[in-house]
């Protein structure tokens, strides 16, 4: 779409996506990580295929804008690198999620998934490599942050992404296909599967700028609220959008009889919930006044997005 038709938020999101893309390209270029041992070319190509795919880079945006909110004058280089590392984790999860043994998806953003463009073994390894690269990047002195912040970022990301977070949520999601969870079960599943990484994105902005514990908690809560909104919007989209708009298969939840809050309570309820979550997210940012305008717009965007 042409830049002149964009609302200011979408323009800001795209500008951030360009910055993040550049950082991701640098992380995935042909240079050895250390010493002289180059990374295998085919593996790097698969990692790039899974990452450099024109994603919206919403999670990186949240890292960058949370950091900018709490420390307006900070050097943005570390934030950009943290944002890129987080995106590596998000993309690894999509690569593994798309595998035949998992969701078995052939398309992602209208392009062949990594195991389709390469092969299954390469896709598994590309995911493993991206996850590991994220922690490499956060722990490295080259990030330009003190060691305690680097260790905090590694820990928070591992908690968000691991068996008590995203990976655990994926497990619950698979189990939900054969044994429908109740409402509390769905909420737990979604908080882990998609919520944890979005929460981390906002929290990371606080950690990397050395913000106070209360700012960190507030941003994390904001992230939780929009994480919930994100998932609700996703479930609504699966119900109402077509594959062309989404660049991936839709209607899969209903076809699989998958339990979602939308299936449980209906579309009207879900839209009311979404409004409530956006209000809650906005309220959390009140103390920051006008500075928080972009993050508030992000909450709105997450709730009303059409793909």
Window contacting a copy of itself (CB under 8 A); options: 34-42, 62-70, 234-242, 285-293: 34-42
Cβ nearer to a copy of itself, comparing 192 with 211: 192
Q: Which of 22, 26, 77, 155 is the binder for a copy of itself (CB under 8 A)?
A: 155
Instruction: Say how far apart CA 184 and CA 256 lie, in whole Å.
Output: 20
Burial readout 56-75 (b: 16 or more C-beta within 10 A, e: otherwise): bbbbbbbbbbbbbbbbeeee
- Asked if residue 136 binds a copy of itself (CB under 8 A), the reply is yes
CB distance 37 to 176 below 8 Å:
no
The SS3 assignment for 111 reads strand
- Asked if residue 161 binds a copy of itself (CB under 8 A), the reply is yes
Closest distance to a copy of itself from the beta carbon of 107 (Å): 19
Please, which of residues 49-108 interact with a copy of itself by CB under 8 A? 96, 99, 101-102
- Asked if residue 227 binds a copy of itself (CB under 8 A), the reply is no
> With the CA atoms of 138, 199, 186 and 296 taken in that order, what torsion angle do they form, in degrees rounded to the nearest 10?
-150
From residue 64, how far is each of 3, 18, 83 by CA, in Å? 21, 13, 7
Q: How far is CA 32 from the centre of its chain?
A: 27
Structure-token pair, residue 102: 């998992």
Window contacting a copy of itself (CB under 8 A); options: 4-12, 148-156, 225-233, 255-263: 148-156
Please, which of residues 164-203 interact with a copy of itself by CB under 8 A? 164-165, 167-168, 170-172, 174-175, 188, 191-192
Cβ nearer to a copy of itself, comparing 133 with 299: 133
The site for a copy of itself, by CB under 8 A, has a size of: 58
From residue 111, how far is each of 108, 237, 242, 246, 289 by CA, in Å? 5, 19, 16, 12, 41
Residues that bind a copy of itself (CB under 8 A): 32-34, 37-40, 42-44, 47, 96, 99, 101-102, 119-122, 124-125, 127-129, 131-133, 135-136, 138-141, 146-148, 150-152, 154-155, 158-159, 161-165, 167-168, 170-172, 174-175, 188, 191-192
């Amino acid at each position: 779409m042409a830049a002149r038709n964009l609302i200011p938020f979408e323009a800001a999101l795209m500008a951030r996506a360009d910055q993040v893309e550049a950082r991701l390209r640098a992380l995935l270029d042909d240079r050895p990580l250390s010493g002289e041992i180059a990374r295998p070319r085919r593996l790097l190509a698969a990692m790039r295929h899974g990452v450099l795919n024109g994603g919206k880079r919403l999670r990186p945006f949240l890292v960058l804008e949370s950091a900018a909110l709490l420390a307006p004058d900070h050097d943005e280089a570390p934030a950009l690198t943290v944002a890129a590392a987080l995106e590596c984790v998000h993309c690894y999860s999509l690569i593994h999620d798309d595998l035949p043994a998992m969701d078995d998806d052939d398309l992602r953003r209208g392009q062949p998934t990594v195991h389709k463009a390469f092969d299954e073994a390469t896709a598994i390894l590309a995911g493993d490599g991206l996850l590991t690269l994220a922690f490499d990047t956060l722990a490295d002195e080259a990030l330009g942050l003190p060691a305690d912040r680097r260790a905090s970022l590694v820990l928070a990301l591992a908690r968000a992404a691991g068996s008590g977070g995203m990976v655990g949520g994926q497990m619950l999601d698979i189990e939900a296909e054969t044994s429908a969870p109740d409402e509390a079960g769905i909420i737990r599943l979604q908080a882990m599967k998609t919520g944890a990484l979005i929460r981390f994105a906002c929290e990371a902005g606080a950690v990397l700028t050395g913000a106070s514990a209360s700012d960190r908690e507030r941003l994390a809560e904001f992230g939780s609220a929009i994480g919930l909104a994100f998932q609700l919007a996703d479930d609504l989209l699966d119900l109402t959008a077509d594959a062309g708009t989404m660049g991936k298969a839709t209607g899969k939840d209903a076809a699989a009889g998958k339990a979602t809050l939308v299936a449980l309570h209906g579309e009207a309820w879900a839209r009311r919930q979404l409004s409530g979550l956006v209000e809650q997210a906005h309220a959390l940012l009140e103390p920051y006044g006008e500075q928080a305008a972009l993050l508030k717009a992000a909450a709105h965007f997450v709730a009303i997005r059409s793909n």
